[in-house]
Amino acid sequence: MDRRTFLNNSLAMGVVIWSGEKLPKQLEMSEAQVKDLFAVEPANSTALIFPQSVASGDPQPHGITLWTRVVSPQPGLIQAGFEISADPEFKAIATQGVAQTDASKDYTLKVSLNSQSLQPSTTYYYRFIYKGTASRTGRFKTLPAQTTEVNQVRFAYLSCQDYTNGYYNAYPFLAEEEIDFIVFLGDYIYETVGDTSFQAGIRPLPLPSGQPGAVTLEDYRFLYQSYNSDPNLQKLRERFALINIWDDHEFANDCFSANTPYQVPFFNEELRLSANQAWAEYTPTSVPFEAGKDSQASIQIYRTFQFGNLLKLVMTDERLYRDGPPCDNLEAQQQRYLTNKRYSIPDCPERNDPNRTMLGHKQRQWFFNQILNSDCIWKIWGNEVMTMQFKLLSEFATKLLGQQTPDLFLSFDQWDGYPVERTLLFETLKEARVKNFVTISGDLHTFVTGYQKVNFDDPQDEPIGVEFLVGSVTSSNFARSNALDSLKVPLGPIEAITQMLMTSNPHINYFNPTTHGYNLVEVTPEALICTLKAVSTITKPGGTLSILKVFRVPRDQVLIEDITPV
Say how far apart CA 31 and CA 39 lie, in whole Å: 12
At 325, is the pLDDT very low, low, confident or very high (cuts 50, 70, 90)? confident
Q: Chain-wide mean pLDDT for the chain?
A: 90
Last residue of a domain, one of 141, 168, 194: 141
**Residue 174 near residue 236 (C-beta atoms within 8 A):** yes
Half-sphere exposure of 185 (CA within 13 A, CB side): 30
Half-sphere exposure of 394 (CA within 13 A, CB side): 5
Query: Strand pairing of 391-392 and 15-18?
Result: unpaired
Three-point CA angle 228, 233, 239, nearest 5°: 115
Indicate if the pLDDT at residue 527 is higher than 60.
Answer: yes
- The domain in which residue 332 lies consists of 153-562
Same domain, yes or no, for 226 and 272? yes
Sign of the alpha-carbon dihedral angle for 48, 543, 497, 194: negative
- Among candidate residues 419, 472, 458, 464, the one with its CA nearest the CA of residue 438: 464
At 481, is the pLDDT very low, low, confident or very high (cuts 50, 70, 90)? low
Q: Is 192 exposed, middle or buried (0-12, 13-18, 19+ CB in 10 A)?
A: buried
406 CB-near residues (< 8 Å, 6+ apart): 346, 347, 394, 397
Q: What tens digit of pLDDT does each residue of 282-310 get?
A: 999 999 999 999 999 999 999 999 999 99
Same domain, yes or no, for 127 and 176? no
Same domain, yes or no, for 79 and 180? no
42 CB-near residues (< 8 Å, 6+ apart): 134
Indicate if the pLDDT at residue 479 is higher than 90.
Answer: no
At 148, is the pLDDT very low, low, confident or very high (cuts 50, 70, 90)? very high
* pLDDT at residue 260 in the model: 43
* Strand blocks (E) in 206-261: 242-244
* pLDDT at residue 31 in the model: 85
* pLDDT at residue 335 in the model: 38
Half-sphere exposure of 122 (CA within 13 A, CB side): 17
Beta-bridge mates of residue 410: none
Residue 394 backbone dihedrals phi, psi, to 5 degrees:
-55, -40
Residue 502 backbone dihedrals phi, psi, to 5 degrees:
-70, -35
Q: Is 511 a domain residue?
A: yes
> What is the crossing angle of helices 269-282 and 217-227, to 10°?
30
**Identity of the amino acid at 313:** L
The verdict on pTM exceeding 0.75 is yes
* pLDDT at residue 399 in the model: 85
Same domain, yes or no, for 334 and 397? yes
| Structural domains counted in the chain | 2
> What is the crossing angle of helices 361-372 and 419-431, to 10°?
20
Beta-bridge mates of residue 450: 467, 508
- Run of H or E residues at 54: strand 54-60
Three-point CA angle 539, 545, 548, nearest 5°: 105
Same domain, yes or no, for 372 and 479? yes
User: Mean pLDDT across the stretch 75-89?
Assistant: 94
400 or 512, greater pLDDT: 512
* pLDDT at residue 112 in the model: 95
* pLDDT at residue 205 in the model: 96
User: Mean pLDDT across the stretch 526-541?
Assistant: 98
* pLDDT at residue 344 in the model: 52
* pLDDT at residue 395 in the model: 94
Same domain, yes or no, for 433 and 502? yes
Q: Is 160 a domain residue?
A: yes
Range from 67-81, 368-382, 432-446, 471-485 carrying the lowest mean pLDDT = 471-485
Q: Is 423 a domain residue?
A: yes
User: Mean pLDDT across the stretch 50-64?
Assistant: 98
- Among candidate residues 327, 162, 380, the one with its CA nearest the CA of residue 250: 162
* pLDDT at residue 33 in the model: 86
Same domain, yes or no, for 298 and 339? yes
Three-point CA angle 351, 357, 360, nearest 5°: 175
* pLDDT at residue 204 in the model: 95
370 or 194, greater pLDDT: 370
- Among candidate residues 277, 274, 300, the one with its CA nearest the CA of residue 287: 300
556 or 490, greater pLDDT: 556
Indicate if the pLDDT at residue 386 is higher than 80.
Answer: yes
198 or 335, greater pLDDT: 198
* pLDDT at residue 491 in the model: 57
Q: Is 465 a domain residue?
A: yes
Q: Is 148 a domain residue?
A: no
